[in-house]
Structure 1
Amino acid sequence: MLYGADFSVPAVLIHPHVALDSLSRDELRAIFAMRRRTWPDGTPIQVFVLPDDHPLHRAFCKQVLNVYPHQLRRIWDRGVFSGTGQAPIEVSSVEEMQKRIAAVPGAIGYTDRIQQDASVKAITVR
């Protein structure tokens, strides 16, 4: 994978036990802004992201969430510093993200390639 390459629209991945096949952009924005904290069944949502300067993170923010990475970072920092929220868990690579999503019930993240197997589930953005 070339990190300097242009990415097509990133795919959203969730843990396979999350009983959803799609989410709206508004729902995704609420999840990645750490405002929505549980799935409909009550399972806690665990958000995984790549570093702010990673090309895939920038593409995900702009193309899927319709925000800039610095705007998302500001939301996370505000929640952490005010004591009302938390930041997502940052991982260093797409491979690590997929492994963490597979290992953590309720996890959500994104990828630039769909190598879906039983360990993760790609969902539709509506």
Structure 2
Amino acid sequence: MLALMAGPANAQSPEQHAAIRLVAHPTVATSWLNRDTTRAIFAMRQRTWPDGEAVQVFVLPNRDPVHARFAKEQLAVYPHQLQLAWDRMVFSGMGQAPNRVSNQLEMREKVANTPGALGYLEREYIDESVHVISME
């Protein structure tokens, strides 16, 4: 179970929250996700989109500052909490870790070319090859 963060990270302005956006494969029908669903998907507890299509999760390395900002600002968890959740899934045999990419260019390419994919990008990396998903 992921514990929610408390403190200043949750009290940031909407502009800062918008700096990193959820992105999906262009054929994903979902246009918005709430924080709980997004957290469940990135913690690898929810394996499908609301329409039943399998989700392929992509993440940046744990030490990447964009990954840390995404985890804290969008999911309200610390990156090490996500890693612990992934490790538990893998070591218990109950699931697998998300797909790792080395940078945002690779993230965009993998999400754009993998059906059911979900990832995150800073606004300047977003183009028409990916579908932006709002988070509410």
TM-score, length-scaled by structure 1: 0.90
Amino acid at match of 1:84: M
Q: 2:49 & 2:63 partners in 1: Cα distance?
A: 28
The DSSP-based 3-state class of the residue aligned with 1:81 is: helix
Q: Show the counterpart of 1:110.
A: 120
Instruction: Read off the aligned partner of 1:23 and give its amino acid letter.
Output: L
User: Per-residue deviation at 1:38?
Assistant: 1.0
5+ residue gaps in structure 2? 1-15
Q: Which residue number in structure 1 is paired with residue 11 of structure 2?
A: none
2:72 alignment partner in structure 1: 62
CA distances 1:59-93 after superposition (whole Å, capped 9, x unpaired) = 00000000000000000000000000110011000
**Unaligned residue ranges in structure 1 (runs of 5+):** 1-7
Give the partner amino acid of 1:91.
Answer: V
**Map of 2:13 onto structure 1:** none
User: Structure 1 segments of 4 or more deviating over 4 A?
Assistant: none
Post-superposition offset of 1:42: 2.2
Which deviates the most, 64-73 or 32-41? 32-41
1:38-117 paired onto structure 2 within 5 Å? 38-114=48-124, 115-117=126-128
- Aligned counterparts of 1:116 and 1:23: Cα–Cα separation in 2: 20
Report the alpha carbon displacement of residue 100 of structure 1 after superposing the two structures with TM: 0.2
CA contact (8 A) 1:16 1:121 kept: yes
Matched letter for residue 35 of structure 1: R
What SS does the corresponding residue of 1:124 show, helix, strand or coil? strand
Q: What amino acid is aligned across from residue 48 of structure 2 in structure 1?
A: T
Give the alignment partner of residue 36 of structure 2, picking from 26, 37, 46: 26
Whole-Å separation in 2 of the counterparts to 1:55 and 1:77: 21
Measured on the aligned residues, the alpha-carbon RMSD in Å equals 1.3
